[in-house]
Amino acid sequence: MEKYDYSELGLKAGLEIHQQLDSKEKLFCRCPTLIRDLGDSDFEFFRYLRATESEMGEKDRAAVEQTKIRRKYIYKAYDTTCLIENDEEPPRELNKEALEISLGVAKLFRMKPVDQLHVMRKIVVDGSNTSGFQRTAFLASNGVIETSEGPCGIDSLCVEEEAAQKIEEIGDSIVYSLDRLGIPLVEIATAPDIKSPRHAREVAEQIGMILRSTGKVKRGLGTIRQDVNISIAQGARVEIKGVQALDLIEDIVRREVERQLNLLFIRQELLERGAFVCEEIYDATGLFMDTKSKVLQKGVKKGAILAALLRKFNGLVGKEVQPGRRLGTEFSDRAKTAGVGGLFHTDELPNYGITEKEVQALRDAIGAGPEDAVIMVADEPEKSRLAIEAVILRAKEVLEGIPEETRRALPDGNTAYMRPLPGAARMYPETDVPQIEISQEYFDSIETPELLTERAKRFATEYGLNRELSEKVAYSKHLPLFESLLESYRKDANVNATLIARTLVGIVPELRRSGVDTENLSDEHFRGLFAAISNQEIAKEAVQDLLTALAKEPNLSTQEAISQLGLSAFDPAEIETFIKNLVRERGDFIIEKGPAALGPLMGIVMQEYRGTVDGKILSQMLKTEIDNFITQG
Ligand SMILES: [Zn+2]
């Protein structure tokens, strides 16, 4: 049961999904789309970036805010990094493979492509692009998917270059890795047709399924990211960035609605009290010269403890807006944009070694009554000033309503402030890349991938897989291997589709749950496994043991693991009997040839056991038997 009636609240939600494409090369250079080990990085360089004026002549407000702090950006480069990724050479033309994967996606969403593809520059000032902008091209519009709650529009599809991966922050420096920069991705934006948290998840799942149907998208953590746009009737539009897990989408929507409702409740209460925010910034450094509080001692040393007075806010700064996050946390998020670690507010004091007496002295010094709240930040003078100004601004917004902003998804389903919503001045044309004509003929020539849902149905009817197994295998990352194995064992007596599917999507996950490192298993391991079952070298019952052994020692071939484990379905006693009988039957030949009989007889033995038992072992067994025959003979 949902806590709220979302249609009554006027919930409007849309998704923006970013999916990396599995093309061989990057979008604007020929470098591979490989994710590298940080340890492989062989050089680094750095840049300072500032907001640049776009050709529209105005500065983007999100860009301006981010460059309040001067940051140094350090880039880790690899032997696969070229001068285009370093922004020292102009981009090449847009990758055709990526374009065609994207057109296939557009077809699946029943979208209309543009006649001409124009590449644009989107300003990015967080350093995640060496150039200070991201290249993006609007490819198609006007699509739709069917859902359990009616159609959901797919408004736009853009082809974009992926940003560099943020590795760490050291003081005011940020370290990025360039392996991910420039990997092609599609950005898909739905219409605001989403009606509830559960519906948001359904839409995200369906879009994900459609993308994977191409068989040409990257898989694994970080290869797909969802942004959620949410508003309610009395609230404001908020864009939540970077939801990585599908499971989180429902909570994100639920908790954002909750946050907006709580902020509206706080606003109402403040208006009834006649609350307001004082513009003045108070220097409280002198009050804490002898404080025992470690954090404030540090503040005094750094230079400035500044305070803001929020009239009649007492008790509401500490009020929860999301589980574990208070109005004070929203203030703190804003303060952090100035580079401070956080803030103190009177609703949570005394605490942090700050005494009751000190709090009272602070209140007295700035003229705060018991119904007022005081906010403090302690850092270098300039940072403290910017931080307390940001808090004052946010506090004023509380009285106006919900601020429109970009927020960051947190792992527990909450969100934190990231930056203002970007303005319209973010894009301008990329003149280094030629436009591409997309004729109807070209669009028609792009193959429409078979949907995974359709493929699952086909596995069930064509190969007799049960429904659960066919869906699991169709959605699994092992799908390409499954299809290739199906092809190899189309008419095999010992290996069928159910065995292959059960192994890949039943046994492997079971082993993983019991602690086996199944990520080590390669396609070659699986191919070896099914070959061994096909020629009856091992029994089906040996699959678990064999895969466990291979996961532990991935350098072994399947054959080597079979020998080491003694898994061979052949009984040595049976082989011995076969050899004994052979030697007895060919007794005359052996007497005539002596030890030289080994060669020809070995041929017969190998015919029987080739590829299943090690030839050296067979040769040794046969030699022993011949020697015995001759000496006893
Ligand atoms: Zn490159």
In DSSP terms, which residues pair with 173 in a beta bridge? 72, 170
pLDDT-above-70 percentage for the chain: 94
- Look at residue 242 in the predicted model and tell me its pLDDT: 87
List of residues 6+ apart from 51 with CB closer than 8 A: 59, 60, 63, 64, 66, 67, 123, 125
Rounded CA gap, 170 and 110, in Å?
46
Question: CA of 292: how far to CAs of 284, 287, 351, 357, 365, in Å?
Answer: 15, 12, 11, 12, 19
CA of 29 to the centre of ligand 1 (A): 5
CA of 164 to the centre of ligand 1 (A): 12
For the CA atoms of the chain, what is the radius of gyration? 33
Residue type, 412: D
Contact call for residues 380 and 300 (beta carbons, < 8 A): no
CA of 95 to the centre of ligand 1 (A): 12
CA of 200 to the centre of ligand 1 (A): 36
What is the phi-psi region of residue 150: left when phi exceeds 0, alpha when psi lies from -120 to 50, beta otherwise? left
Contact call for residues 457 and 424 (beta carbons, < 8 A): no
| Residue of 442, 480, 9 lying closest to 257 (CA atoms) | 9
Domain map (residue ranges) of the chain: 12-237, 267-420, 452-565, 572-632
CA of 313 to the centre of ligand 1 (A): 54
Contact call for residues 398 and 273 (beta carbons, < 8 A): no
CA of 85 to the centre of ligand 1 (A): 5
CA of 455 to the centre of ligand 1 (A): 36
- Look at residue 203 in the predicted model and tell me its pLDDT: 97
CA of 184 to the centre of ligand 1 (A): 12
Rounded CA gap, 419 and 81, in Å?
31
Question: CA of 83: how far to CAs of 249, 356, 477, in Å?
Answer: 38, 60, 34
Give yes or no for residue 617 having a pLDDT over 90: no
Paired tokens of 399 = 């009285």
Residues 558-568 have pLDDT tens digits of: 888 888 887 76
CATH topology of domain 267-420: Gyrase A; domain 2 (3.30.1360)
Mean pLDDT of all residues in 623-633: 86
CA of 118 to the centre of ligand 1 (A): 21
Which of 81-90, 104-113, 608-617 is the least confident region? 608-617
- Look at residue 394 in the predicted model and tell me its pLDDT: 97
CA of 245 to the centre of ligand 1 (A): 30
- Look at residue 595 in the predicted model and tell me its pLDDT: 86
DSSP secondary structure of 13-53? EEEEEEEEB--SB-SSSS-B-PPPPGGG--EEEEEE--PPP
Q: Average pLDDT of the chain?
A: 90
- Look at residue 57 in the predicted model and tell me its pLDDT: 45
Place of tokens 């694994």: 220
Place of tokens 């003081």: 171
Contact call for residues 208 and 375 (beta carbons, < 8 A): no
pLDDT band of residue 613 (cuts 50, 70, 90) is low
- Residue 496: alpha-carbon gap to chain centroid: 34
Rounded CA gap, 630 and 596, in Å?
12
Contact call for residues 388 and 329 (beta carbons, < 8 A): no
Contact call for residues 306 and 377 (beta carbons, < 8 A): yes
pTM beyond cutoff 0.85: no
Contact call for residues 507 and 530 (beta carbons, < 8 A): no
Residues 130-182 have pLDDT tens digits of: 988 999 999 999 999 999 999 999 999 999 999 999 999 888 789 999 999 99
CA of 45 to the centre of ligand 1 (A): 16
Helices 479-488 and 452-463: crossing angle in degrees, nearest 10, is 30
CA of 32 to the centre of ligand 1 (A): 8
- Residue 530: alpha-carbon gap to chain centroid: 32
Paired tokens of 450 = 């078979």
CA of 162 to the centre of ligand 1 (A): 13
Mean pLDDT of all residues in 425-449: 90
CA of 132 to the centre of ligand 1 (A): 16
| Phi, psi for residue 26 in degrees, rounded to 5 | -70, 170
- Look at residue 611 in the predicted model and tell me its pLDDT: 56
CA of 9 to the centre of ligand 1 (A): 48
Rounded CA gap, 387 and 528, in Å?
62
| Residue of 180, 144, 140, 184 lying closest to 160 (CA atoms) | 184
Residue ranges of the alpha helices (H) in 345-439?
356-366, 381-400
CA of 187 to the centre of ligand 1 (A): 21
Rounded CA gap, 221 and 227, in Å?
15
CA of 25 to the centre of ligand 1 (A): 8
CA of 47 to the centre of ligand 1 (A): 18
| Residue of 109, 100, 113, 110 lying closest to 210 (CA atoms) | 109
CA of 442 to the centre of ligand 1 (A): 27
Residues 214-255 have pLDDT tens digits of: 999 998 888 999 999 999 999 999 999 988 888 899 999 999
- Look at residue 535 in the predicted model and tell me its pLDDT: 81
CA of 81 to the centre of ligand 1 (A): 5
| Residue of 269, 304, 298 lying closest to 380 (CA atoms) | 304
Residue type, 141: S
Rounded CA gap, 145 and 270, in Å?
44
List of residues 6+ apart from 281 with CB closer than 8 A: 306, 307, 308, 385, 388, 389, 392
| Residue of 208, 211, 15 lying closest to 102 (CA atoms) | 211
pLDDT-above-90 percentage for the chain: 71
Rounded CA gap, 394 and 263, in Å?
12
CA of 486 to the centre of ligand 1 (A): 37
What is the phi-psi region of residue 147: left when phi exceeds 0, alpha when psi lies from -120 to 50, beta otherwise? beta
pLDDT band of residue 574 (cuts 50, 70, 90) is confident
Q: Element (H or E) spanning 190, and its range?
A: strand 184-190
CA of 624 to the centre of ligand 1 (A): 62
Mapped onto helix, strand or coil, the DSSP state of residue 128 is coil
CA of 179 to the centre of ligand 1 (A): 9
Question: CA of 57: how far to CAs of 54, 427, 432, 560, in Å?
Answer: 6, 11, 20, 68
DSSP secondary structure of 137-182? EEEEEEEEEEETTEEEEEEEEEEEEPPPEEEEEETTEEEEETTSTT
CA of 131 to the centre of ligand 1 (A): 13
Contact call for residues 386 and 394 (beta carbons, < 8 A): no
Task: Give, rounded to a whole angstrom, the gap between the first and last alpha carbons of the chain.
Answer: 88
